[in-house]
Structure formats: C-alpha cells, structure tokens
Amino acid sequence: MSDRRAEELLVHAGWLRALALRLVRDSDIADDLVQDTWIATMRRTPERSESAKSWLAKVMLNRLRMRARGEGRRTAREQATLLIEGDDVPTQDVLVARAETQRKLVELVLRLDEPYRTTVLLHFCEGVPLATIARQQGVPASTVRWRLKTALDRLREGLDAESGGRKQWLVPLLAIPKGVLVAQKTSKLVAVAIVLLLLLVGAIVWRGHRGGSDAGAARTAGPGKAGAVVHADGTAPTVLGADPDRPAWLIQPDVKPRRVAGRVTFHGAPVAGATVELASLATESGLGVPLQRTSSASGEFDFGAQPAMEFSVRASAAHHSSAMLDVDLRNPTLRPEHLELALGACDAAMTGTVHDASGGAIAKARIARLDLESRVPGGPAAVADENGAYELCVETKWPPSVIVEVSAAGYGTIVYTAIVPGRVKVDFLLVPEATIVGRVVRDDTREPVAQAYVWIPVGPPGVVQRTGWRATFSDASGHFRLDRVAPGSHLVSARAEGLADAAGVPVAVEAGQTSAEIEIRLEAGSTLRGTVVDGSKPVAGARVAASSRTAFSQDDGSYVLTGVPRGDVKLTAMPYEVVKPQSFHASEPLHDGVVIEVEAFGTITGRVVRGRDAISGAAVSLSGPHERELDPVRTDADGRFTARGLRPGQWSVGASSQQLGVFGDAGAIVQLARGETKDVTIELEYGASISGRVVDQNGAPVSGATVGFIHTSQDDIGLGVTAMDGSFRAAMMSGGGQYRPKVSATPTATPSKTALRPASGTEFPLVTLADGHSEVTGVLLAVKLERLAISGTVVDDDGAPVPDVRVVAEQVEGNAVPRFFPSLQTPASTTDVGGRFTISELPEGTYALRARSLTGIEGTLTGIRAGRKDVVFALPSSGGIDATIVGFKNPPQVTARPTDITRTTAAVPGTQQGNVVSFRNLAPGSYLVAARNETEGASALVEVVGRKTSPVTLTSKGSAVVAGRVREFRSGKPIQGMTCQALPRAGITQVTIAPGEGVDTDAQGGFVLEAPVGDTAVWCYGLAALYSDGMRTFTLPAGQRLEVDVPVVAWNEGLRVRADIGATLDPTVLVPRLVEVQPGGPAATAGFVDGDVITAVDGASVAELSAGGVGLLIRNRAPGTKVKIAATRGGRTITGELVLGPAQ
C-alpha cells in the first residue's frame, strides 16, 4: 500500500468508528470492529476506481459477519489475542514483541515535537481531516501534509533506533503470512499506535515491492536476476562488479577504465586538506554516494581507475570558494590523471536563512553551487543549521551571478540565481514537496524496464527562481519515485539500456501531493558499432551523436553508440563534419561496421592577454555559423585556447574574464575556410571600473540596489549591485568618456527607467573614465529613498484566499508596459494561508503586480501606488485547449505558448490521446498553438477562457520548397553561415521556434528548405555579432517552389552603438510596430505614437526586413544623428525626422 493510498483511507477514521457504533451499538465492540477493519486493510487495498468509504464499509461488514458466525466462541476470543484468519498462531515471543513495539510507538508519539504530535493525534486519533487541521491552525493544507509525513518518518527512525534496527520491529509484525492481529479492548492511543504501525509497515512493504527513491530499491537488479538489464541486441551488458549501485549502461562499452587524479591549488600554490569528490549521474540520483578524497600536503588527490563515463570532480576547502571540473572518461583525448582544481578566494558570500513558506526554519537544508553547463548535476554545498541559517562562500566575479540549488527533506527543490557582489543576504522560502511516481515499460512488450534513468530537468532558463532537477533510477519492476519535486508542471523523461529516450510525460503536481502513477514507454532502440575515419586514418575524440545519445571514438577510431531511435537519424561527429553517411536508417537491434567518414572543420587557436599578462580561465566567445552547437571554450594556465569544429564563414572572436571584470576581442573578423586553422591574440583592453557606496538621505547603506553608469556619447553601460554595506563595483566598461550614474532601488536591467533621485540636487556628478584600464574608486551616491510597502490579499474567482502564491512588484513609469523579466530579482512576497502578502522595502512610485500560483495561473494588476494596504488580487480560474491534429504524414511536435511576453513564455506541455493534444491548467489569455515536424506545420491563435476548454484544429496542408538567399541590406553582399528555418505562423504574431537545426546558408548566401504550405515565415539567424536576424512572411502555395530574398542589416564597422529612439519595437509581432513612445523623446517629438508601423528609413523601404533589422538600421548610429522615418497609421502614411538620443 502506498503512503498516499494509506492516507486516503486513514482520513476516514472518525467516520469508520461512527459506522461501527451504528452497526453494533456497543462502544467496546465498535472499537474492536474498527481495529479489525484497519488490520484487514493490510491484506488488500481498494482499486483506484473504488471509493475509499465504500470499500472500508465493505470490509467492516465482512468483519461483522465473521464475528456473528463465531459468536459462540466470543468469550474465548476476548480473553486472548488471536488471529481471525489462518491456522497459524503467534508464539509468545511474537506477541510480546508486537506489544513492545506498540508501547514504544505510543511513547514516540507522545515525545514528538509540536506541531507534529498534535497533527498525528488529531488526524489518526480524532479523525480530523487534514484540511480542517490546516484551517484551525492557520497554515496551508500542504504544510499539514508535510508535517504528517515528517512525523511518520521520525516515528520510523525512532523505532529503528530503539529496537536496534528496522528488522527487529518489522519482522514480528510480518511474521504471520496469512493471519492478521486483533487486539482486545485497547485505549484510543494504543489503537492509534496500531493504525500507525499499519501505515509504517505498509509504506515499507510498498517500497520494497513497488520501488522508490531509496537507493536500496534499485540495487537489487543485477545479472541473472529478475529485472536484469539486457542489451537491445540480446547480449548481457558489461557489469561493473566493483560498484553494484551504478547501472552498467552508463559506461561506454569497449572502453577501458582510466585514472582520475590531480591537485588542488589556490593562486597556483597547492592546497592541503581540501575535500575532493567524484560525482556522477548515478550518485547525484541517489545510487550510492560520491567518492571522496582529502588532498595531500602537495595538494594531490587520486581516485584510481574509473569507468568510461561522465564525472564531476569537485573541491572545497575552508576559507576558499569551491571549484568544479567536468571529466568525461569516454573521451580518449582527455588527460584525467593531471587535473587541476583551482580554488577561488572567499571575498564574497551568500548568507541568510531557509524557511517554510508558511513559517518555521528548515534545518539541514542544502545550498549547493551549480554549473548548469555541466552534464552532471549538483555541486559543493553549504548546510543550514538548526535555525535554518547558512553561509556560502563565493569568489567575487563579473557579472556577480551565482546559481544555487536549494533543497531539504520534505520540500520542493528550487534553483535560484543570486547576485553576489560582496556579502549579501539571500533568504529562501520553500514549499512542501510534491512526489511523482510511475513505471517505465517497453513500448512494444509492456515489460518493465529496470535501472532506467528517470528525470525532470531544471526549469526554463532566464528565470531567477525555477524548479530544480530531480532524478532517480527505476527498480527491478520498472517503478520509480521522484521526491523533493517543486510543485508545478513538469516533463518526466526516461533513458535506459538499448532503448530510445522518451520525449517526456507531462505531470502537474501540487504541494504535498503524490501524483497518480504515470507510465513512461520506451521504444526499442538500436546500437551502432563502427569506426570514425578521415580518409583512411582513424579519428580519436569525435563525439558521435544521433538524437540525444552520444559516444566518443577511441584511439583506433572505434565507437559504440547505444539507444539510437529507430528510423532515419542524422549522425554528427563534432568537431568534424560528417561526409558519409549524413543520414542513417536504424532498423535492427545491432548495426555493426558502421563507418563514419568525416572531414575536419576549421580551428581557431589563440592567446588571451591583458597587457603583458596571460589570462587563465577566460571565457572565449565565438560568434559565427552554428555557434549554438559549440561547447564552452576557456583558456588554460598560459592563456591559450583552441576552438575546433568551426564551419566555414565569418567568425567574431572575443573573450572575457569574470574574475577581473575585463573583456576584449580579436579585432578583425576571422574568415575561416574548411579545414583551415587561424591563430589570434585577444587583448582584454576593456575593463574600466567604478566602485563606491550607495547610501540613503540619512547615510544608511542601501543594499540590493542596481547602480548603472551610462556613457554620455557611446553605447556603453556598466552595472553593479550593492552589497549589505552599500558597496558596489561596476566593471567591464570601455572607458574613453564621461558616465552618468543612475541608481535603482532593486536589481534591474534598466536603472534609468526607475531611477532614484539624488538626496540633494537633480543629477549625480558625471564620472570620467579615460580608457579601458581606468579604475575610479570612492564614489559616494546618496539617494532619496522612502521605504514603503504594498500589501493585500490574493483570492480565486470565488473569493477564497489562495496560499503559496508568489507576488512580484515592478516599478513602471508613464505608459511603459511592465515586463516582469523573470531574470531580474524584483521585490516579491509569498501569500500565507489567508492569501495575504506584503511586499516591503519599496521606493515610492507606481507599480505593476504579477501573481503566479504554484500551478502556473498568473494575473496582473497595474497602477498600484507604493503604500497601499488594501490590494485585492483575484486570480482567474484555469482553462484548457484541445488541439486536434489532422493530415500530418509524420507525428508533429505540438506546443502552446502564451502570446503575452510579460508572462512565462516557455512552451506548455500537452498530453496526447490519439490525434488530440490536450493542454490543461492554462491561465486565461491568448495562446499560439503550433504543430510542426521537419517539413509540415500549422498554427493558430486560441483564446483560453477560465473553466472552459477551447477546441482548435491544426491541419497540415503538406509541404513545398522554399529556395532563398540571405544578403546584407545595404551592400547586397551574400551572407554565409546563417541558419534558416521555415515556421508556420498565425498572422503577424511572433512565431514559435521549430524543432530541428535548420539549414545553413552557403558561400552565395543560398539555402533550400522544405516548408509547410500556407501562412509561413522563414527566419534566418546567427552571426549576431555581425548582423541582425532576417525574416520574410508569405503564403506558400502547394506543389510550387518559391524564391525568397532575406535581407539582414550589418553592424556599422567601428560603431558599436545603439542610440535611443524614445520608443520600443513591439516584441509580440513580426512587424516593426512602435510601442511605449516616451513623451518628449525622439519618436514623440517627430510626431509618432504607439501603434505606428515603420515602413521606410531614410527613403528606403524596410518591408522585407525583420523588426530586429529595422531596429538595428535606425539605432546603429551616433547620438544626435537625424533619421527620416515613414510609418503607417490607420491606412495613411506618417513621416517625421528623428534626432537620435544617447543610449539608455
């Protein structure tokens, strides 16, 4: 019996006793009958479709009939403890052991801390529902559910400790195979103990037979046992005998183990006594624990030989910030025996507390540093004390962002991006966990899949706080349990030996809830075995990939790639170009002798310096063809770097050092031919900085404020965030002029929009930076800051309060539209059980509020002045969409995305049944629903209304061919290396990005696409450091070849400036439509208003340009430049001359 199902039955305890009294009209007999009924539930649980109450009543009636048949022996039964069913009689030792366990449990219940003791007694002794307890105690129901779970966990642990292990108290309770225990007249507390024992035992038995998150459950599978993993070709996998916790399929076949060793350093000197961990996907998912070593006096560590799989090596030491390195032992070109983990200084820190969202400290919460580029999750962590207080040491860097994962037993895991310029206070509020349970099976046979890796990824990027990664492995019966899941909507994916990865099953869970059991079906996959060659020479270190599976070619060119999806797949072998076969048809369990012929792409090598100093650890940026496919590149200890696998075309190369706060580029554009190697030197010449303090009118430090320094004549801005003492450092500026200070009370990307006024005067003094090496210190910025608050209540559309809703506030000015940028740390609060919230520490001004529930329902209020205490925020009811898919030759990917860009714009997952894809729990509003495969597509705008499901039909009209050319708008020069995609569109609404990689333009800028018939857009992107994007919209007729020209706008050489036009181009549409026209700004002065659509710039039509191209064409000029603009308004043409302002 599952915890969840047992709880569903136990909530009816009070009702069950009332039923017993009505049946027998004797309190003592009723108590016996209730106990008989509870104990009988261990034998069988109701079907999911069966009502809990009706099933309990059925069981009780059966127990009553048995009592009536045995009435003649009643006296004897009441004088001893007997078995109602079965012929086995418990021994004296068993009876004593059971009674002793009941006594210990009663004592443990009475020793529970509050509020856990009261929760147990009210729920199990008095039969009070959890929802009623929550209302009485003024906390969310999810909190009560978590308290109950915590209490049960503590009772299990207490029995373990007092009985000398779980076996000592569990075996006597399970010793009788057929019978069940009935106790003679017992006190109500003893009866509670019996019920609790049933729940404790039932949960343990369920975990043992159904699988769970405990590591022991997944360890049972092995060679020759039920549930043992088998290769797709029928052969047994390679077993890593030394570590039964680790599924063998994580290891690349036919690759020898390799030694992992190295040293820990700080500023080049060895660090003794550092803790070094070797983590893997298995250890981070609960299978075993990371290996651990302590560095020697010379800083050295050695993990010995390790299998060919992916690892993360992590080092930490007192008074230093931690270091992490990814080590992929599948790659033969890596030298894992000579690693260096360079610890950082501890000159900054996150400090604060971790609390339950409804109050109460969370002890032992983990705050772990993350590297989201790593393929192995997790990282070095700080642990909160008994008061929930923590401190995490970090190194100062620029930008000063630190990504952490916050987790605790019984709570949902979150990932948070903090700004840590120095010592800062960051508090976390967690909500009770949700749990996702399910089973992984083969799609063809429905057989269970053992040791499948099941995971939910980190929430979408660009969000300050998002849901955390969670993962586990299935047990021998294919069952899995994901705990510590943050409430919300998730996609649960799976991967297993010899099977293709699952696309993901959508699941929505609430706080304290366990999901219904989901089923993840994995289709049969293929194994590809062969060699990678360049001509006749074997190639080592090529990352062979098909879909999401990867393997590395070895020194002899050999590779083994497992889990390849059946059908036509595209093969890649970075950093090389695959010449043959570019496409492979996988149809058998094993394809042997698959030769992949490759040619070398281009390579750029170089050195990064600042003056005469080589800069180690610098991040090298590469902007050019297929730049999104490249792995991160960093410099070594000598400042050297090598970037391989670069396609022919133009490459812009730059670098930056987060530790120093400097950046620079290689100067000229690198024109790279196929197979060519070019060397560059990158001078980090731009690193001007300004540091100082921000105080209020009374001299008190202002923490968490954004300080911006805006160049008065160039497109350059430096940003800093104040620490707890008000100190800041704004870095990475180019210098060469004067900078105007702006201060915002909260972290923001545009401090000028909501700037605080100086404490005296109207403007802060300008700050001069002579060049990129200038450092100005001691700047004191005194601001006028009145701390106000906004408070109110969040209710649903029935007027009931909604707890655990996150409410954020964004200061707006004039007609500006609130953006609610999820990447900014805007002021926020979480509602309590009464739906109440207070957002404090706000400067005076007008705000927009955005409320978002745990289930993703959002709402917005505007025009709220700081200081209001009576805000009522009514969240709407959710709605849904049913999209019927018609006429597609191949199954499409179907997505729904809100058109309101101020909302979370990640695609909403849907559930497919037949040809209908259903989207549920959607906030009311407009959505772009799109269906797309490689060649077909259809899309439509759908309006979602609360409590209703909106139908839509997406019909494929087939595909046709689009041939085009990308050229520069002014010169007509063909552009090589841009990526073009064909996308279905609905009017002028922004398109949804399609799956797949698109097609790269050739040396003549040409491309050929198979595109969906109907309303279509061709979008060409990439080379962002050199050109704007390009987009053409048209209606594509069936059976025809359409020729299109896609112009893009080049940046003006030597003028990296984007001047201000006093307006914004509407990001929700495909045309250059003006919005947020600022009174008195350049656009307004020239006579333009919101809604005007730009049609010409300086007399040249821009009808074929994307909105981004139009924006760059106008703004990439020096401030003060005059630009003639034509626009349409209500069917007529409006003209005006803009005088561009300085960048904002």
Mean pLDDT for 1126-1134 is 94
Can you give the pLDDT at residue 1057?
A: 63
Q: Three-state DSSP class for 946?
A: coil
Handedness of CA 79, 84, 86, 90 (dihedral sign): negative
Mean pLDDT for 796-810 is 87
User: Is the pLDDT score of 487 beyond 80?
Assistant: yes
Length of the chain: 1144
Higher local confidence (pLDDT), 203 or 702:
702
Can you give the pLDDT at residue 489?
A: 85
Radius of gyration of the chain measured on its C-alpha atoms: 33
Cα 923 from chain centre:
21
Highest mean pLDDT, choosing among 113-127, 391-405, 1087-1101 = 1087-1101
Mean pLDDT for 671-700 is 95
**Would you place residue 575 in the very low, low, confident or very high pLDDT band (cuts 50, 70, 90)?**
very high
Mean pLDDT for 893-920 is 81
Q: Are 282 and 288 in contact (CB under 8 A)?
A: yes
Which of 670, 676, 627, 675 minimizes the C-alpha distance to 651? 670
Highest mean pLDDT, choosing among 58-67, 271-280, 500-509, 938-947 = 271-280
Can you give the pLDDT at residue 440?
A: 97
**Would you place residue 208 in the very low, low, confident or very high pLDDT band (cuts 50, 70, 90)?**
very low
User: Is the pLDDT score of 45 beyond 90?
Assistant: no
Give the span between the Cα atoms of 253 and 45, in whole angstroms: 44
Highest mean pLDDT, choosing among 60-74, 289-303, 454-468, 1052-1066 = 289-303
Mean pLDDT for 789-818 is 86
Higher local confidence (pLDDT), 1039 or 1101:
1101
Tens of pLDDT along 583-598?
899 999 999 999 999 9
Give the span between the Cα atoms of 809 and 852, in whole angstroms: 12
DSSP labels for 763-802?
SPPPEEE-STT-EEEEEEEEB----EEEEEEEE-TTS-B-
Highest mean pLDDT, choosing among 331-335, 802-806, 875-879, 1068-1072 = 331-335
User: Is the pLDDT score of 739 beyond 50?
Assistant: yes
User: Is the pLDDT score of 71 beyond 70?
Assistant: no
Give the span between the Cα atoms of 705 and 726, in whole angstroms: 8
Which of 1049, 1054, 1050, 1059 minimizes the C-alpha distance to 1117? 1059
Mean pLDDT for 638-657 is 93
Give the span between the Cα atoms of 743 and 785, in whole angstroms: 11
Find residue 110's DSSP bridge partners.
Answer: none
E-strand ranges in 617-774 read 619-623, 633-634, 640-646, 649-657, 662-665, 670-672, 677-683, 688-695, 706-711, 717-721, 727-733, 737-744, 767-769
Highest mean pLDDT, choosing among 140-149, 663-672, 712-721 = 663-672
User: Is the pLDDT score of 97 beyond 90?
Assistant: no
Mean pLDDT for 1080-1099 is 95
Can you give the pLDDT at residue 49?
A: 41
Q: Three-state DSSP class for 450?
A: coil
At 553, the amino acid letter reads: S
Q: Are 746 and 826 in contact (CB under 8 A)?
A: yes
Give the span between the Cα atoms of 882 and 875, in whole angstroms: 23
pTM comes to 0.75
Which of 196, 170, 34, 187 minimizes the C-alpha distance to 105? 196
User: Is the pLDDT score of 86 beyond 70?
Assistant: no
Mean pLDDT for 890-917 is 80
Give the span between the Cα atoms of 182 and 78, in whole angstroms: 10
User: Is the pLDDT score of 262 beyond 50?
Assistant: yes
**Would you place residue 485 in the very low, low, confident or very high pLDDT band (cuts 50, 70, 90)?**
very high
Highest mean pLDDT, choosing among 398-402, 480-484, 714-718, 986-990 = 480-484
CA angle in degrees (0–180, nearest 5) for 387-390-392: 175
At 251, the amino acid letter reads: I
Tens of pLDDT along 417-456?
988 888 899 999 888 899 999 999 999 999 999 999 999 9
Higher local confidence (pLDDT), 1058 or 960:
960
User: Is the pLDDT score of 1074 beyond 80?
Assistant: yes
Which of 275, 273, 305 minimizes the C-alpha distance to 292? 275
Helical axes 130-137 vs 141-163, angle rounded to 10°: 110
Mean pLDDT for 803-823 is 80
User: Is the pLDDT score of 232 beyond 50?
Assistant: no
Can you give the pLDDT at residue 400?
A: 84
Tens of pLDDT along 873-890?
999 999 999 999 999 988
Q: Are 586 and 567 in contact (CB under 8 A)?
A: yes
CA angle in degrees (0–180, nearest 5) for 446-448-452: 125
User: Is the pLDDT score of 64 beyond 70?
Assistant: no
The contacts of residue 473 (CB under 8 Å, 6+ apart) are 218, 247, 282, 285, 286, 287, 451, 452, 453, 454, 480
Can you give the pLDDT at residue 932?
A: 86
Higher local confidence (pLDDT), 920 or 273:
273
Which pairing describes strands 525-534 and 590-600: parallel, antiparallel, or unpaired?
A: parallel
Which pairing describes strands 275-280 and 366-369: parallel, antiparallel, or unpaired?
A: unpaired
Higher local confidence (pLDDT), 202 or 833:
833
DSSP secondary structure code for residue 779 in this structure: E
Which of 628, 702, 730, 625 minimizes the C-alpha distance to 670? 625
Structural domains of the chain sorted by starting position, each given as residue range(s) with its CATH number in brackets: 3-210 (no CATH), 248-343 (2.60.40.10), 348-430 (2.60.40.1120), 434-522 (2.60.40.1120), 526-600 (2.60.40.10), 602-683 (2.60.40.1120), 688-782 (2.60.40.1120), 788-874 (2.60.40.10), 879-955 (2.60.40.10), 1057-1144 (2.30.42.10)
User: Is the pLDDT score of 600 beyond 80?
Assistant: yes
Percent above pLDDT 90 for the chain: 51
DSSP labels for 630-656?
PPPEE--TTSEEEEEEEPSEEEEEEEE
Mean pLDDT for 91-100 is 66
DSSP secondary structure code for residue 725 in this structure: T
User: Is the pLDDT score of 1078 beyond 50?
Assistant: yes
Mean pLDDT for 957-962 is 93
Which of 885, 878, 936 minimizes the C-alpha distance to 908? 878
Give the span between the Cα atoms of 1074 and 1077, in whole angstroms: 7
User: Is the pLDDT score of 1093 beyond 90?
Assistant: yes
Cα 948 from chain centre:
29
Alpha-carbon separation of residue 122 from 10, 189, 1139 (angstroms)? 12, 11, 73
User: Is the pLDDT score of 224 beyond 50?
Assistant: no
Can you give the pLDDT at residue 480?
A: 97
Give the span between the Cα atoms of 456 and 473, in whole angstroms: 12
Which of 849, 854, 893, 889 minimizes the C-alpha distance to 873? 849
CA angle in degrees (0–180, nearest 5) for 338-342-345: 170
User: Is the pLDDT score of 893 beyond 60?
Assistant: yes
Q: Three-state DSSP class for 179?
A: coil
**Count of C-beta atoms within a 10 Å radius of residue 223:** 12
Query: Pseudo-torsion of CA 983, 986, 992, 997, nearest 10°?
Result: 0
Q: Are 144 and 134 in contact (CB under 8 A)?
A: yes
Give the span between the Cα atoms of 134 and 128, in whole angstroms: 10
Q: Counting beta carbons within 10 angstroms of the beta carbon of residue 57, is it exposed (0 to 12), middle (13 to 18) or buried (19 or more)?
A: middle
Mean pLDDT for 1050-1070 is 81
**Would you place residue 215 in the very low, low, confident or very high pLDDT band (cuts 50, 70, 90)?**
very low
Can you give the pLDDT at residue 382?
A: 94
Instruction: Report the chain's mean pLDDT, rounded to a whole number.
Output: 83
What is the rounded end-to-end Cα distance, in angstroms, of the chain?
62
Can you give the pLDDT at residue 1129?
A: 95
Highest mean pLDDT, choosing among 6-15, 70-79, 101-110 = 101-110
Q: Are 621 and 653 in contact (CB under 8 A)?
A: yes
Give the span between the Cα atoms of 1109 and 1101, in whole angstroms: 12
Alpha-carbon separation of residue 520 from 2, 440, 452 (angstroms)? 19, 5, 10
Give the span between the Cα atoms of 291 and 1133, in whole angstroms: 71
Residue labelled with tokens 């018609």: 886
Q: Are 965 and 978 in contact (CB under 8 A)?
A: no
Higher local confidence (pLDDT), 394 or 152:
394
Maximum Cα interatomic distance, the chain, rounded to a whole number of Å: 108
Mean pLDDT for 650-672 is 92
Helical axes 27-40 vs 13-24, angle rounded to 10°: 130
**Would you place residue 748 in the very low, low, confident or very high pLDDT band (cuts 50, 70, 90)?**
low
